[in-house]
Chains A and B, each alone.
Chain A
Amino acid sequence: QQPVQSPQAVILREGEDAVINCSSSKALYSVHWYRQKHGEAPVFLMILLKGGEQKGHEKISASFNEKKQQSSLYLTASQLSYSGTYFCGTIDQTGANNLFFGTGTRLTVIP
């Protein structure tokens, strides 16, 4: 039930944009996005609920296409602090609270 993320890794220069995709084979209720810096615990970024909403804060936003069971994370004008591994987590519509995470996308921002 693990969602699939793409790309596996991406390298950006400061100021460039990136998109990270997450797709599931299950009908989804919510999608969660987390960032993990090296040697640290994953940290919550945002949750998107079914209904196709788009959320964001500062220069990081996300969308959720319920019909396609896909979500995308958008990082604009990237900063060095954005470096880390991004994980999407999914909860399906069966009613269970199992939170499954994807394979991760390693983002490196260079000066």
Chain B
Amino acid sequence: DVKVTQSSRYLVKRTGEKVFLECVQDMDHENMFWYRQDPGLGLRLIYFSYDVKMKEKGDIPEGYSVSREKKERFSLILESASTNQTSMYLCASSLWGARNTEAFFGQGTRLTVV
């Protein structure tokens, strides 16, 4: 059974903290994605990676960075968390030919910044 696992379901952090959200997939997928989900705004792409150490910015990369040191792991980093980064974060992965293959999602991490 295919799996995308996010390290935490719920996370509470303080303003200014450095926050790491971890995502691991066991399907040997090349592509990995980080999305942010907010009511009325849908799923917005933060960053995308198509290979180890490779990354591309999505629509809303400001305030975030990513790390992909191993194929199966894609980390989202909030350099200095702010209250407007309170949101649901979803990780997804797909095969290299993402144009015609489905993406698999993790269960999401609900981050609250206080």
Q: Tell me the A residues contacting B by CB distance below 8 Å.
A: 1-2, 5, 8, 29-30, 32, 34, 40-44, 47, 49, 87, 89, 91, 96-104
Number of interface residues of B (CB under 8 A): 31
In the complex, per-residue mask of B38-51: 1 if CB is within 8 Å of any chain A CB, else 0: 00111111001010
- In the complex, besides A1-B45, A99-B31, 10 extra interface pairs with C-beta distance below 8 angstroms are A41-B105, A41-B107, A41-B108, A42-B105, A47-B102, A89-B43, A98-B56, A99-B45, A100-B45, A103-B42
Chain A, residue nearest B56 (CB): A98
Contacts of A91 in B (CB 8 A): 98-99
Given contacts A87-B43, A96-B56, contact A44 B103 (CB under 8 A): yes
Given contacts A8-B40, A41-B107, A42-B105, contact A99 B56 (CB under 8 A): no
Chain A, residue nearest B58 (CB): A98
